[in-house]
Amino acid sequence: MSAPAAPGFDPDFLGVATPMPTLPGTDTLLLPYTHFATLHRPDRRLAAATAVAIDGATLRQLERSDDWRLDDRLPAGQQAGAELYADNDLDRGHLVRRQDPVWGGAAEAATAESDTFHYTNAAPQAAAFNQDKQTWGGLEDYLLDNAGDHDRRLVVFTGPVLADDDPEYRGVRIPRLFWKIGAFVVGGALGTTAYLLDQTPQLGDLAEPAPGDPPPLGPYRTFQVPVARIGELTGLDLGPLTAADRMPVPEPVPAALSERAVRLRSFADIRGL
């Protein structure tokens, strides 16, 4: 099935500018879908970033279509398709959550839901469920209810950290870190908070995989981090998102951004909302 013509992500959705991140010095392709877009890295066969506009007031509950498919705007060899996820414990992790762009008119919402099942919106993630995975997956809902001026409008940027030393499996290097930035309006101005999901294997998970098995991935651990830390890790130009960070600065200020991370064991641990 061909990817439909779509309006894509609206950077003015909040009434203040939230432009799509860019990746200077690296070849990327911007792929618009309904209410969201992905910034695709053909060399890694995965998205470097995604952006979705969420209108919480008109969200619709639709049956899951589950029709995973390639995007025919790209050669198949530039996408990580079904073969990556076959006969192993890797999940096809939605980057833009299935339910987030599903708003507006009935036909529009149905198209948006279907659009999220392009492999360009997926990344391999650990299949095992734990509390941190639940926290990570529920961040958008919590921000819709608790962040900004409570008009239930939210923009979310998400992506993997595509590191040079990510382990390779079936021709795709498997990311171990994922990031998410929520953007909202506070008193007429842009506010942001950033989060990092770490599935790097812990000491108990470091056994060598059998030949043909995917690399080991550890339990999910979710952190709130400075928005600037996401830029450090990914090389993305985050535009105005960094300066709008609502995460409080500790005293004294650590020398490195990497020292400023708050482990999230529940939504109550989130700072700056």
Q: Which residues are catalytic, by number? A: 94
Positions of E strands within the chain: 29-32, 36-41, 46-55, 90-94, 122-126, 153-161, 168-169, 172-173, 177-186, 189-198, 221-225, 262-263
| HSE toward the beta carbon, residue 20, CA cutoff 13 A | 24
Q: Is residue 175 within 8 Å of 162, Cβ to Cβ?
A: yes
Tell me the two tokens of residue 111.
Answer: 């198209």
Write the CA distances from 165 to 70, 115, 168, 173, 259, integer angstroms. 26, 31, 9, 8, 21
Q: Is residue 157 within 8 Å of 181, Cβ to Cβ?
A: yes
Q: Is residue 18 within 8 Å of 183, Cβ to Cβ?
A: yes
121 is in an annotated binding site: no
Name residues whose C-beta falls within 8 Å of residue 181's C-beta, 6 or more positions apart in sequence. 156, 157, 158, 192, 193, 194, 195, 227, 230, 238, 241
* CA angle (126, 40, 29) in 5-degree steps: 175
Binding residues for Mg(2+): 130
Binding residues: 130
